[in-house]
Structure 1
Amino acid sequence: MANFCLGMCFGWTSPILPKLRDQAADSPLSYGLTTEEEGWIGSLISIGALASSFGSGHLGAIIGKKPTLILSGVSCGLITATLPMYIGEVSTDGIRGALGSSLSLFFAGGVLYVYCIGPYVSYIIMQWCCLAIPTILLIAFIFIPETPYYLAKKGRKSDLKKSLEFLRGHKGKIIEDEMNEIQTSADADTSKNGSSLDIFHDKACVKALIIICGLFIFQQLNGFSAITFNSQTIFSKAKSTLDPSVATIILGFTRMIANLIPPFIIEKTGRKSILLISALGMSLSLFALGVFFYIDAFGDASHILWIPIPSLVIFNIFFSIGFSPVPWAMMSELFPSNVKPMAASLASMSNALSTFLMTRWFPELNALGAYYSFFLFGSLTVVSMFFTVFYVIETKGLSMKKIQEKLRS
């Protein structure tokens, strides 16, 4: 649900910016937005996320993941830093990757939610519809347990047992054995006296940090956030044969359906293979869009007006099976516990900064010629393929110990 709320924040501008730009009857503004103002409105969420990302991982380590996630109602930066750590600490090795990848499914659900509602209700009603979801989430948090690892670190054995019984759905010796295993791991981590700054001195941690920050940066450099924030505007500019609102809903729906796939395949095919397939599909669809807008700008594209919708649908499908879920899943896998807070904060900051760069200047670049944007996004996606081939490691089915050995090799 937390990622559902994050998805709402990202999708909000798509139906709302046209209302503000065209001075719709229900617009709270007395004037139409300029291109520069559109860029700032779309990117302001990234500035807030960037600010709150700093230290958010440490906050989760100090007060617990559950209270930090409750505070995520104040800023989405806390979600991106804390939620993957929460998933990593409550899941077993067998389902950790699948559960981590499911975060993207809920994100896509949040985007689709505002895509479906925004064009058909007033500006004020839209805000109330958005407010309802985090309110439900806040109530649901009453029943969600703290992570077993955090409770073990704090010596709260009774709460540790209750948390595991809730999460695993059974009692008995199996729970006792897992309790002992978690407590042993927590005690060992405490005795190491390591600090978050070790992330800059340990070879494995440095490589893991480059991998995860690189993945989160490329997750945005392919234009995903810029497209999500401005889908309705893009379809209008493309002279889509469908109503832009309907085309945007189709886009959101296919993204959500595509996000049902990764939890079932990520533990079978591996992270690296999915990333490469994802990048290849995205780059081809982005170049197709670039060609369409180039022809539209300098020639006659009336005979190929059908291209934008399937191209963006294909882009979203390939993004959803790879570069959307895999960085989230790997963030909970690559780092030992003593550096996870710092890693989460830095990864979240890199994601927020790259999101800001893409969303802030997309409207201006789009105004010069949409083909500039999509050729740029396609080229950067090709670069992400080389990054994946030469730097990303495979973590499928590996324990934390084996992952650290692989990073050092």
Structure 2
Amino acid sequence: MSFRDDSEDGRGDLRKPFLHTGSWYRMGSRQSSMMGSSQAIRDSSISVVACVMIVALGPIQFGFTGGYSSPTQNAIMRDLKLTVSEFSVFGSLSNVGAMVGAICSGQIADYIGRKGSLMIAAVPNIIGWLAISFAHDVSFLYMGRLLEGFGVGIISYTVPVYIAEIAPQNMRGSLGSVNQLSVTIGIMLAYLLGLFCNWRALAVLGTLPCLALIPGLFFIPESPRWLAKMGMTDDFEASLQVLRGFDTDISLEVNEIKRSVASTSRRTAIRFGDLKQKRYWFPLMLGIGLLMLQQLSGINGVLFYTTSIFESAGISSGNAATFGVGVVQVVATAVATWLVDKAGRRLLLIISSSGMSVSLLLVAASFFVKDFVSKDSTLHSISSILAVVGVVLMIIFFSLGMGPVPWIIMSEILPVKIKGLAGSVATLSNWFISWAITMTAPLLLSWSSGATFVLYMVMSALALVFTAMLLPETKGKTLEEIQFSFR
């Protein structure tokens, strides 16, 4: 049965996307004067990059949520009279909300499309930030954090999947890394603005990425692979054409996507028995494993509470040092964006996890030394410097691989048939570990900073072993080739 025949026979089961691709794409393919610049639209890289830049507003929101708690901790605790435990709950509640968002993210993205799910994610983010800005007790503070997290949970799954599905194979790694680069930009902005704004004004500024994302979604095409899966042949081809340029012959890519979709029945639900097949359980294990190990390295415990860590290390201006870390993270992630399609995913992960293990060992040793020497001694000062250097190096190495690459791998390796369910499970596992790390980090650091960083070091070493032994390279392969390799 052909793709078109299958689409027509199953038409009753198909659903239109929440934000339709729109006839102007099809009209634009015949009218070179569309939007006043035919050359810009014909240039495939400009078209795809423009789409990525718009959806990247979502990860910027993601990063701003993560970075918000660091510069505001002391002010919120003082103004609302919170204990360390209560603020730990506040910091971790975004992860709880993200777990709820992750549970339904795959189903939402499959049911109403990638654009529709991003639209849904933007609304609770905006409401959540406003609730925090007007909070006068912990109830509004906690409610706002939960709503933010719900939206971020959907964004964290949908954006990498959308980027992977629209990007040409030779650009997929670099464009996929934009997701993590945007997260780091959001974190840096939270750190920077936190130097000048009080915590209420900073929360209001947190609404801006999603307020810009909502109108931007109306100007980009839906994922062609999702449209193909839903049987919308005309819209699928129109979306792919505008992404590749109107002068580009897309027939080969169209046929490859059609064959991939035709081999997977849309009307056959995934059963747990199917997961016994290696083509399903192996990529699912890789996706879950990488996303869990990403968080077990303790990165969110460091990023959420960087200011407190620096102050405990003896740095007087913790907020300024935290902003410096944000800048370093953006630069390192930008380098990873350039490297990922050249060096490959696997090599970057090996370098990243190795470097993190050594850096975390340095931080742990520094804190252990500080506990046994006088505060006025030279060794104490040297230990403080080494702790800061170790944290900075950890974040650099994380940004080079363990930050962007697990999300790229997840979006590449999951088969079409289980992508919604498996993507939700993988994203949920990431956010669950993130919640556990964020919730326990302040308590662990107050108990023993050295022991806490030893624990994170062991997890980074485990990530190195996992990558070296199990992870295949996906650089230079189409999504269809990657999925076929697991059969």
Q: 1:123 aligns with which of 172, 189, 199?
A: 199
Helix, strand or coil at the partner of 2:366: helix
Q: Cα offset for 1:228?
A: 0.8
2:367, 2:383 within 8 Å by CA — same for their partners in 1? no
Of stretches 300-309 and 378-387 in structure 1, the one that deviates more from structure 2 is: 300-309
Aligned-partner residue type, residue 338 of structure 1: K
| Aligned match of 1:13 | 69
| Aligned match of 1:364 | 443
| Aligned match of 1:280 | 354
Aligned-partner residue type, residue 34 of structure 1: T
Q: Distance in 1 between matches of 2:335 and 2:486?
A: 28
Cα 1:130/1:41, change in 2 over 3 Å: same
2:181, 2:333 within 8 Å by CA — same for their partners in 1? yes
Q: Cα offset for 1:165?
A: 3.3
| Aligned match of 1:234 | 309
Q: 2:384 aligns with which of 305, 308, 311?
A: 305
1:232, 1:245 within 8 Å by CA — same for their partners in 2? yes
| Aligned match of 2:288 | 213
Q: Distance in 1 between matches of 2:447 and 2:299?
A: 19
Q: Distance in 2 between matches of 1:194 and 1:172?
A: 38
Q: Cα offset for 1:112?
A: 0.3
Q: Cα offset for 1:201?
A: 2.5
Helix, strand or coil at the partner of 1:305: helix
Helix, strand or coil at the partner of 2:365: helix
1:245 and 2:325 are equivalent in the alignment:
no
- Count of aligned pairs between the two proteins: 399
Please list, as runs of the form range in 1=range in 2, the aligned pairs for 1:296-335 lying within 5 A after superposition: 296-300=370-374, 301-335=380-414
1:197, 1:339 within 8 Å by CA — same for their partners in 2? no
Q: Distance in 1 between matches of 2:355 and 2:266?
A: 47
Q: Normalising by structure 1, what TM-score?
A: 0.92
Cα 1:67/1:338, change in 2 over 3 Å: same
Q: Could you list the runs of 5+ residues in structure 1 that have no partner in the other structure?
A: none
Q: 1:150 aligns with which of 226, 246, 254?
A: 226
Larger radius of gyration: 2
Q: Distance in 2 between matches of 1:246 and 1:20?
A: 18
Cα 1:196/1:152, change in 2 over 3 Å: farther
Q: Distance in 2 between matches of 1:196 and 1:141?
A: 34
| Aligned match of 2:36 | none
Please list, as runs of the form range in 1=range in 2, the aligned pairs for 1:187-226 lying within 5 A after superposition: 187-190=262-265, 193=268, 195=270, 197=272, 200-226=275-301
2:260, 2:480 within 8 Å by CA — same for their partners in 1? no
Q: Deviations over 1:299-338 (max 9, x none)?
A: 1313432223222111111000110111111112112211
1:196, 1:339 within 8 Å by CA — same for their partners in 2? no
Helix, strand or coil at the partner of 1:265: helix
Q: Cα offset for 1:398?
A: 3.0
Q: Distance in 2 between matches of 1:172 and 1:383?
A: 48
2:70, 2:306 within 8 Å by CA — same for their partners in 1? yes
2:117, 2:154 within 8 Å by CA — same for their partners in 1? yes
| Aligned match of 2:96 | 47
Could you say what the CA RMSD is over the residues aligned between the two structures, in angstroms? 1.9
Aligned-partner residue type, residue 68 of structure 2: W
1:254 and 2:333 are equivalent in the alignment:
no
Q: Cα offset for 1:202?
A: 1.8
Q: Cα offset for 1:198?
A: 6.4
Q: Distance in 1 between matches of 2:229 and 2:74?
A: 50
| Aligned match of 1:83 | 159
| Aligned match of 1:35 | 84
Greater RCO (Cα-Cα under 8 Å, separation 6 or more):
1
| Aligned match of 2:113 | 64
2:71, 2:194 within 8 Å by CA — same for their partners in 1? yes
Q: Distance in 2 between matches of 1:401 and 1:151?
A: 16
Aligned-partner residue type, residue 437 of structure 2: M
